[in-house]
Amino acid sequence: MRLIVARCEVRYSGRLDALLPESLRLIVVKADGSVLVHADAGGYKPLNWMTPPTVIEEGPGRMVVRKRAGASEDRLEIEIYEVLSDVTHDMGSPDDDAALAKDGVEAHLQELLAERPEWCGEGFRLVRREWPTDIGPVDLMCRDAEEQWVAVEIKRVGGIEAVEQLARYLERIRLDPALRSCRGVLAAQTVKPQARVLAQAR
């Protein structure tokens, strides 16, 4: 595993475009070809990433990660302006790791709703999982039957914090003129009454 701490700008292009402006970030390059870009804020999720299989090209001050996505190609272009640290560690085989026991409800819900986005709303279709913003990724980005953008955040329990988190994501997403009309959907197994009231008020 390679860990790079660098001041960089990150641009994603594919079915859609997203830009992370220049800032100090952690770039994680895994042996399986995964590339993740983290910031100190925004929780445990990466701000942007690319899952394997990927092709990684490096040049002076630049890393480009490419992945085929059907007939199109997704690209993660990282312009590196200053490197503070660049280290590589041998983490061993994944088979050597102990099984990770955790609550997989949210992950399972995300997989399920990615396969059946129409369960979030009539006519919904998935555009991308883990849509990047500068404060972390939204679980699903969809279009509805009228081709309007819809950001879907998935929680096991939908509380006030989840509503506020989705509102912050929407603020960032709507900065893009093409996404100014984007609305939000909070999908949860259980939604607390006060969260429902807050969501309806928003």
Task: Quickly state the pLDDT bin for 183 (edges 50, 70, 90).
Answer: very high
pLDDT score of 72: 78
Indicate if the pLDDT at residue 69 is higher than 70: no
Q: Is residue 99 part of a domain?
A: no
pLDDT score of 73: 86
pTM value is: 0.53
Q: Is residue 100 part of a domain?
A: no
Question: In terms of pLDDT, which residue wins out, 63 or 50?
Answer: 63
Q: Is residue 121 part of a domain?
A: yes
Mean pLDDT for 100-118 is 76
- Cα of 16 vs its chain's centroid, Å: 13
Q: Is residue 58 part of a domain?
A: yes
pLDDT of 115-152, one tens digit each?
A: 999 999 999 999 999 898 888 889 999 999 999 999 99
Q: Is residue 19 part of a domain?
A: yes
Structure tokens at 43: 């929780």
Structural domain including 56 reads 2-92
CATH of the domain at 83: 2.70.180.20
Indicate if the pLDDT at residue 9 is higher than 60: yes
Same domain, 109 and 193: yes
Distance CA 130, CA 111 (A): 11
H or E stretch at 11: strand 2-13
CA dist 127 → 2, 43, 195 (Å): 30, 23, 27
Question: In angstroms, how far is the first alpha carbon of the chain from the final one?
Answer: 42
Question: In terms of pLDDT, which residue wins out, 16 or 5?
Answer: 5
Number of domains in the chain: 2
pLDDT score of 101: 36
pLDDT of 157-175, one tens digit each?
A: 888 888 999 999 999 999 9
61-70, 161-170, 180-189: least confidently modelled range: 61-70
Residues 183 and 151 sit within 8 Å (Cβ to Cβ): yes
Q: Is residue 7 part of a domain?
A: yes
